[in-house]
């Protein structure tokens, strides 16, 4: 079980989360932090710098007369905010050998001190909301730092480990069964005073037909049966675009599974495939094909949220430090709703009725990506506990599989 730490001030939370990013990067060498193994991933050094750029750009630079610490870096470490200026091309972040790692860490210290001083003074009423957004942005990049380095290390024929511990604790998974979900008119979307991204709002009502959700995530053993049954060779199971990707990329198994289907690459190196652990690193296309093969479907995000909203946020999250999905513990209700693996839903990432993006440049954070993406829910084994909630909407394109993404089945009743 994971619980968020209690903190007395936003400045204390700022320090903890910024330090947590450094702790995740600590096992990595400067060479590791330089790697970019594919265009969708970024080097660890870039994550360290970009999250710092975010605070400099949106917190420090809002004060009249502020001069950036390194003006040229404002281009290097901008991600996609067109309205604040140019940016270095995303697929070429791995060529940025300069600035050095030491210079980037010095940059982080400078910005941390400057933001800390503003928080200590506390005379800017708009500051807390901006800092909180920056901290949640940083936690997203903590996940990305781990998923990106996992892909980079896997791309090395030596299959080196991020850390020596395996992170896997084998146990038997409870039998799969379906539990009836809420039907009728329900409210979804963020409610209350806590933090939420703009894409989680506004809260609104939806009509849910009678349905059921699986009590746990799909396991490696269950997905292995799909593989052995020729699931990757049967076009009738796949969406048209998914089948095209399977053919073009030669997919025959989940990302990181070994050729012999007996092992998988983890942040602890190559480990035996645990049959009871949740299958992960699947694309939306693979999740959808498996659900069809299993005689089920993927849940909608509204079905998922209506069931998750009454549950505490606890599970195999980043604070557990296992950094790999674990078999579900015994229980009578819905299990693994938070943590282990992000759960693909059948819902496209589109705006809620009445959606309004954040004002100004921060309006680019979410809204402009509401095209061609699919929603995932629940967090994963690398998601911080205090970063996820029932209304949280993660999103990726349907072919993406380097994230810790898995499957919970749903069905009509």
126 within domain boundaries: yes
Verify that 270 and 354 share a domain, yes or no.
Answer: yes
Q: Is the pLDDT of residue 1 over 50?
A: no
Domain count, the chain: 2
> Has residue 1 been placed in a domain?
no
- pLDDT, residue 37, reads 98
Q: Are residues 312 and 239 in the same domain?
A: yes
101-135 pLDDT, tens digit per residue, is 999 999 999 999 999 999 999 889 999 999 999 99
In a domain, 54, yes or no: yes
Q: How confident is the model at residue 7 (pLDDT cuts 50, 70, 90)?
A: low
Residue 2 belongs to some domain of the structure:
no
Does residue 172 sit within a domain?
A: no
Does 68 map to a domain? yes
3-state SS record for the chain: CCCCCCCCCHHHHHHHHHHHHHHHHCCCCCCHHHCCCCCCCCCHHHHHHHHHHHHHHHCHHHCCCCCCCCCCHHHHCCCCCHHHCCCCCHHHHHHCCCCCHHHHHHHHHHHHHHHHHHHHHCCCCCHHHHHHHHHHHHHHHHHHHHHHHHHHHHCCCCCCCCCCCCCCCCCCCCCCCEEECCCEEEEECCCCCCCCCHHHCCCEEEEECCEEEECCCCEHHHHHHHHHCCHHHCHHHCCHHHHHHHHHHCCCCCCCECCCCCEEEECCEEEECCCCCECCCCCHHHHHHHHHHCCCECCCHHHHHHHHCCCCCCCCCHHHCCCCCCCCCCCCCCCCCCCCCEEEEEEECCCCCCCCCCCHHHHHCCHHHCCCCEEEECCCCCCCHHHCCCCCCEEECCCCCCCCEECCCEEEC
**59, 61, 43: which is closest to 135 by C-alpha?**
59
Say yes or no: 213 and 148 in one domain.
no
Name the domain boundary from 114, 139, 154.
154
Q: Are strands 269-272 and 410-412 parallel, antiparallel or unpaired?
A: unpaired
Question: Is residue 119 located within the same domain as residue 188?
Answer: no
- pLDDT at residue 171 in the model: 83
Q: Are residues 143 and 211 in the same domain?
A: no
Asked whether the beta carbons of 297 and 411 are under 8 A apart, the reply is yes
CA distance 210 to 182: 7
Interstrand relation of 405-406 and 342-348 (parallel, antiparallel or unpaired): parallel
**Whether residue 3 has pLDDT greater than 50:** no
Mean pLDDT of the chain: 95
Judgement on whether residues 147 and 187 belong to the same structural domain of the protein: no
317 falls within a domain: yes
In this structure, the answer to whether residues 191 and 111 fall within a common structural domain is: no
Average pLDDT over residues 249-262: 98
What is the mean pLDDT of the segment spanning 37-65?
A: 96
Q: Tokens for 334? A: 């819905």
- Assess if residue 94 is contained within a domain: yes
Same structural domain, 96 and 200: no
CB atoms within 10 A of CB 383: 30
Model pLDDT for residues 160-215, shown as the tens digit of each residue:
999 988 777 778 999 999 999 999 999 999 988 899 999 999 999 999 999 999 99
Q: Could you tell me the pLDDT band of residue 2, with boundaries at 50, 70 and 90?
A: very low
Query: Do 66 and 146 sit in the same domain of this protein?
Result: yes
Spatial distance between the Cα atoms of 203 and 353, rounded to a whole number of angstroms: 9
* Bridge partners for 263 per DSSP: 272
Which CB contacts under 8 angstroms, 24+ apart, belong to 39-42?
A: 39/90, 39/91, 40/400, 40/402, 41/144, 41/147, 41/148, 41/151, 41/152, 41/402, 42/90, 42/93, 42/144, 42/148
Based on the domain organization, do 256 and 110 belong to the same domain?
no
CA 18 to centroid of chain Cα atoms: 18
Domain boundary among 154, 170, 200: 154
Asked if residue 186 and residue 237 are part of one domain, the reply reads yes
- Same domain? For 279 and 324 the reply is yes
CATH number, position 346? 3.90.1580.10
Query: Could you read off the pLDDT of 21-40 as tens digits, one per residue?
Result: 999 999 999 999 999 999 99
Domain of 328 in residue numbering reads as 178-412
């Amino acid at each position: 079980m994971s619980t968020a730490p209690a903190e007395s001030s936003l400045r204390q939370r700022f320090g903890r989360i910024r330090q947590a990013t450094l702790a995740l990067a600590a096992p990595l060498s400067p060479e590791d932090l330089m790697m970019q193994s594919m265009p969708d991933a970024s080097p660890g050094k870039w994550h360290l710098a970009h999250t710092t750029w975010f605070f400099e750009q949106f917190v420090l630079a809002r004060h009249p007369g502020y001069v950036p610490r390194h003006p040229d870096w404002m281009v290097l470490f901008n991600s996609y905010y067109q309205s604040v200026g140019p940016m270095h091309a995303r697929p070429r972040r791995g060529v940025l050998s300069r600035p050095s790692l030491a210079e980037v860490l010095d940059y982080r210290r400078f910005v941390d001190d400057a933001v800390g001083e503003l928080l200590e003074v506390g005379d800017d009423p708009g500051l807390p909301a901006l800092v909180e957004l920056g901290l949640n942005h940083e936690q997203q990049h903590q996940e990305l730092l781990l998923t990106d380095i996992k892909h980079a290390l896997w791309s090395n024929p030596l299959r080196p480990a991020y850390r020596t511990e395996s992170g896997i604790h084998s146990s038997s998974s409870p039998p799969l069964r379906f539990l009836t979900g809420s039907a009728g008119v329900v409210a979804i979307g963020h409610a209350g005073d806590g933090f939420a991204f703009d894409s989680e709002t506004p809260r609104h009502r939806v009509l849910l037909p009678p349905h059921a959700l699986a009590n746990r995530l799909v396991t490696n053993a269950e997905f292995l049966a799909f593989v052995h049954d020729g699931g990757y060779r049967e076009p009738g199971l796949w969406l048209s675009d998914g089948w095209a990707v399977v053919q073009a990329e030669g997919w025959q198994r989940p990302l990181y599974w070994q050729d012999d289907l007996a092992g998988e690459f983890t942040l602890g190196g190559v480990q035996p495939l645990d049959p009871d652990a949740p299958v992960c690193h699947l694309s939306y296309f693979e999740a959808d094909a498996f659900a069809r093969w299993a005689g089920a479907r993927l849940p909608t995000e509204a079905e998922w949220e209506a069931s998750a909203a009454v549950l505490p946020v606890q599970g195999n999250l980043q604070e557990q430090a296992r950094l790999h999905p674990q078999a579900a513990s015994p229980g009578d209700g819905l299990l693994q709703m938070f943590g282990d693996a992000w759960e693909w839903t059948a819902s496209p990432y589109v705006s809620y009725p009445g959606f309004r993006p954040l004002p100004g440049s921060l309006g680019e954070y979410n809204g402009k990506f509401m095209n061609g993406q699919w929603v995932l829910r629940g967090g994963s084994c690398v998601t911080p506990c205090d970063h996820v909630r029932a209304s949280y909407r993660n999103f990726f394109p349907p072919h993406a599989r380097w994230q810790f993404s898995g499957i919970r089945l749903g069905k009509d009743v």
